Amino acid sequence: MKTSDKILQMLKTQGELTAKVIASELGLTTMGVRQHLQSLEESRDVVFEDRKATRGRPTRYWALTPESNSHFSDRHEELTVQLIDSVKTVFGDGGLEQLIAHREQASLVLYREALKDADTLSAKLQILAQLRIEEGYMASVEQQDDVYWLLENHCPICAAASKCFNFCRSELQLFQSLLAEHAVISREEHIIEGARRCAYKVAPVQE
């Protein structure tokens, strides 16, 4: 993988970063990373913001732009939107709802089968994150105190979700149904609403 692609990957999964942090993780010089960032800025894939530091000069943070999405999987966005329009035209809104419900149910069956042997919430979330990674969501799991977070740094169905918000509602319902006996799940950050990622708060229930 090219260095510029590694930088894009880091910014996608970790959010805003300084050149120094990027250089440290990639084992490169800060000057070398800055050259790559400048090139990415020229191609409109990244932007920076200088923030006042407690001492010395401001610290420069780099972040991705919407244009950078072209570097990540999009699941043929144009075709997806066309298919959604066709379903609504031929079968109406009710037909589209049936399609979304069928997709949700099929995923629920698949996920339940994959998670059936996991005996803890943490183990179930790790398997779920891996399933989502395989589907292009760039997912990970973090724990803060007694709460887990399922983080998805990329949305491969973003075009479909933007066209029909019920796809997003269905994703949340899927997680809630899958882990209903173990946790209360809420979506705290949402790509469609302008966030960098989708973040699902997973609060264990008292068993």
Query: 């997680």: which residue's tokens?
Result: 175
Q: From residue 168, give the alpha-carbon distance in Å to each of 4, 146, 159.
A: 31, 26, 11
Token pair in block for residue 50: 């200088």
User: Can you read off the two tokens belonging to residue 176?
Assistant: 């809630």
Residue-level pLDDT at 1: 82
What is the residue-level pLDDT of the chain in tens, covering all 207 positions?
A: 899 999 999 999 999 999 999 999 999 999 999 999 999 999 999 999 999 888 888 999 999 998 888 787 655 566 667 777 787 788 787 887 887 888 889 999 999 999 999 999 999 999 999 999 998 889 999 999 899 999 999 887 775 665 656 778 888 999 999 999 999 999 999 888 888 899 999 999 975
CATH code for the structural domain at 77-204: 3.30.1380.20
Token readout for 162 is 């933007």
CB neighbour class for 45 (10 Å; exposed up to 12, middle 13-18, buried from 19): buried
Say which DSSP state 17 is in. B
Task: Classify domain 3-71 by CATH number.
Answer: 1.10.10.10
Residue ranges of domains in the chain: 3-71, 77-204
Q: Between the CA of residue 23 and those of 17, 33, 59, what are the distances in Å?
A: 10, 6, 15
Q: Residue 196 has what pLDDT?
A: 87
pTM for the whole thing? 0.66
